[in-house]
Homo-oligomer: A and B are copies of this chain.
Amino acid sequence: MKKLSYVDHAEEWLSQFSFYIPIKVRFSETDMFGHMNNTAPFVYFEEARIEFLKSVGMFEDLSSKAESVPVVGDLQCDFHQQIYFDDQLRLYVKVESMGRTSYDVHYLAKNQHDHVCLTGRGRIVHINPQTGKPVEITQEIKEQLTTV
């Protein structure tokens, strides 16, 4: 795996993922270069992240009256290997570097041959949907997010 700014020790980093969702690359997600278009990983990242948040009860109340909703502060993705139509990926996700109102989510995709295809990360900020202001994350939630 190439050197990544968000990974200190590759082996350790890889070993810390356990939660994942399966992804099958859709035909409509390919492009005329014959492989998965580079915009698709961010769709996969979002799906994996939300499934993860749901698994710890943090993506339940999505109404406009919710006290806080998770929004994306930044996103990045490294392409390690070509991905093709019908490839079957395991899209892993974990939480790193928990802050007061935000945390980093890290991503890893392996294909059916167990090769690392994609890695990535992005900051999630919890904001109040009425005011748009960051909302402090409770100790309880912090523990849920980091013990999965």
**Chain A positions near chain B (C-beta within 8 angstroms):** 5, 26-28, 30-35, 37-39, 42-43, 46-47, 50, 62, 64, 69, 71-79, 82, 85, 129, 132
How many copies of this chain does one complex carry?
4
In whole Å, how far is A125's beta carbon from the nearest beta carbon of chain B? 9
Chain B nearest Cβ from A93, distance in angstroms: 14
Q: Is the CB of A79 within 8 A of B69?
A: no
Q: Which 8 A-B pairs have the closest CB atoms?
A: A76-B76, A30-B32, A38-B72, A39-B42, A74-B78, A32-B34, A28-B37, A30-B31
Q: Closest residue to A84 on the B side, CB-wise?
A: B32
Taking a contact as CB atoms under 8 Å apart, the answer to whether A85 and B43 are in contact is: no
Q: Measured between C-beta atoms, what is the minimum distance from A37 to chain B in Å?
A: 5
Residue of B nearest to A73 (CB): B79
> Do residues B46 and A39 form an inter-chain contact, with CB atoms below 8 A?
yes
Most chain B CB neighbours (cut-off 10 Å) among A5, A27, A75, A85: A27
Task: Tell me the complex Cα distance, A47–B37, Å.
Answer: 12
